[in-house]
Structure 1
């Protein structure tokens, strides 16, 4: 089985493209992706917290989309990110794990780690499942 469903190629996000986000695994239960730190820093040279928030929201939203595809997609309604360690170089990899996969609501827990495997941030996203059409 492929790690990435074919329909993902048609789901383009200009913001994800700007950040350089790459998704490497995508199922309703688990989504993995990464962004480079370079180009996504705040003025002090650290990974911008907003970039971490985008990674959390995108990975979880794509999991929700996989859960509802092709009829329903997830729209984020509650995002929480806690920053634990600064990332200064390399890339940050996120893993979103489904906590609840319901008919109308889904929730994911997301962990972000640096290249050394150190936890840099944790997050949670709840999505409302809506009709795709």
Structure 2
């Protein structure tokens, strides 16, 4: 069943209730034919002790948007999607505002997928480059 863009984003955001995504205030905000975009506020809640964005929070944002992209662009009614591995190269620090994670597929195989996730700040400066591999397996009955 196909949903509108607004319905798809609402479903994704509703699925985040009572999860790490809700705790980090991650929100899916846009998608197109080949990408999904999410954002997360940078507040003291996601800072390291020295007052900058924690790399683990950035990785959580990247894994969240990449996994949701796999759910949206694959047959998630019949498949369960799980993350296999994530890498994150942090290039610039952030103290406040929002960061945005845009996930696109490098490889969209039947069983494994590889996604490129670019994380930027409010000024569209590159903050982190992440890669996420996911696996899609048949749902158990």
TM-score, structure 2 normalization:
0.86
1:121, 1:36 → 2: CA distance? 15
- Is the counterpart of residue 42 in structure 1 residue 48 in structure 2? yes
- Is the counterpart of residue 116 in structure 1 residue 120 in structure 2? no
Q: Does the Cα contact within 8 Å between 1:108 and 1:124 map onto a contact in 2?
A: yes
Q: Which residue in the other structure is 1:79 paired with? A: 86
Tell me the SS of whatever aligns to 1:58. Answer: helix
Q: CA deviation at 1:7?
A: 4.0
Indicate how the Cα distance of structure 1 residues 35 and 92 shifts in structure 2: closer, same or farther if over 3 A, else same. Answer: same
Q: Which residue in the other structure is 1:31 paired with? A: 36
1:25, 1:132 → 2: CA distance? 27
Tell me the SS of whatever aligns to 1:117. Answer: coil
Residues paired across the two proteins, number? 133
Gap regions ≥5 residues in structure 2: none
Aligned with 1:21 (options 20, 26, 40): 26
Q: CA deviation at 1:14?
A: 1.0
Q: Does the Cα contact within 8 Å between 2:24 and 2:46 map onto a contact in 1?
A: yes
1:4, 1:81 → 2: CA distance? 30
- Is the counterpart of residue 8 in structure 1 residue 36 in structure 2? no
Cα-Cα RMSD: 1.8
